[in-house]
Copies of this chain bind each other. A is one copy, B any other.
Amino acid sequence: METITIKDIARALNLSTSTVSRALRNSYEINNETKKLVLEYAEKMNYRPNPIALSLRDSKSKSIGVIIPEIANNFFSQLINGIESIAYNMGYHVVIFQSHESYEREVANTNYLVSRKVDGLLVSLSSLTTDLTHFEELLEKGMPIVFIDRVPKNIDTHKIVVDNFFGSYQATEHLIKTGRKKIAHLTSPFYLSITMERLDGYRQALEDNGIPFDESYVKYCHHGGMMTSENETAVQELLDMPEPPDAIFTASDRLTTSCLSVLHQKHIRIPEEIAVVGFTNTGIADLLNPPLTAVVQPALDMGHQATELLIRLIEHPKKPTVFETRSLKTSLIIRESTASKTVDV
């Protein structure tokens, strides 16, 4: 276990480090007997190549960096599981960093990961990131990056997203079909790609069903849901309107829980007074009170696909002629929080 090196093997076997190195890599130009000797000794002494030395030499590390807003969120932890399973099989290690929705920490993490010579980056943007130069410069320099879920519009690289428009349209339409007409939308900062797409789906569903879009029913939470007080204020404002909504459609996990929390405090009955449907990947949506109708994102699969694309980029550095943006479908799981007011299905 004493971290034996190639030099130690060379000394012990009275060979040169070059020979040992080549024997270890099974080079054709090494005598079979020598090879066998080295291999057996290495095995016996439990030789493991020093990844640091390799990184220094080759400027790469067989590892990929992941930068996400937070891990204490089921969507992201499932995403990580998807990433890890593929990376693991392909011989890559995964280094995880949280931006905590902070631009500064996103930049700091990016720089560190780069100095640590990760071979590629998987990133989901912080909700406070508007300046993207740190990623643009990296792409210029040839660092492979794949964006997931929260992706930048103006950067050309692979992206894995969900069809937010569709998911949002479906959720809104479901609310309408179950009898709601005054549907509010609680969402993230407007400059995030996902915010706009979800808003568009929401708006389109309303219009397709003859309900005029009303901007005052849309609340943006600028801290991306990280600041509970802000979320709760937004819900409160909705309730205080002259015509309070009869349904709330929330665009993220934390927004959803904040919303439920306020409605409970106010003893507002769900779904009788206000129906709720939200984007969320929590595993216990059906244990909530009431069980929550949810737009679920295929987080695991998103992790898989993003990692596959990234590793392909890493291992085939010739620039692909065109970058993909894969859009996966969300699924709407209908539960009691949106049960019909009138008796129909």
> Counting chain B CB atoms within 10 Å of each CB, which of A48, A115, A282, A284 scores highest?
A284
Q: Who on chain B is nearest to A2 by CB? A: B141
Stretch at the interface among A75-83, A119-127, A236-244: A75-83
Q: Which of B84, B112, B260 contacts A98 (CB 8 A)?
A: B84
0/1 per residue, A274-288, Cβ < 8 Å to B? 000000001110111
C-alpha spacing A112/B52, complex, angstroms: 11
Copies in the complex: 2
**Residue total for A at the interface (Cβ-Cβ under 8 A):** 44
Given A284-B288, A286-B264, are A48 and B111 also a contact pair (CB < 8 Å)?
A: yes
- Least Cβ–Cβ distance between A127 and chain B, in angstroms: 17
- Least Cβ–Cβ distance between A269 and chain B, in angstroms: 13
Within 8 Å of chain B (Cβ to Cβ): is A334? no
- Chain B residues with Cβ below 8 Å from A260 are 284, 287
Q: Identify 15 residue pairs between A and B in the complex whose beta-carbon atoms are under 8 Å apart, listed by A's number.
A: A1-B137, A2-B141, A3-B115, A48-B111, A51-B115, A52-B115, A71-B77, A71-B80, A72-B81, A260-B287, A284-B284, A284-B288, A287-B289, A288-B288, A288-B289
Chain A residues near B (Cβ < 8 Å): 1-3, 48, 50-53, 55-56, 61, 70-72, 74, 77-78, 80-81, 84, 93, 95-96, 98, 111-112, 115-117, 137, 141, 257, 260-261, 264, 282-284, 286-291
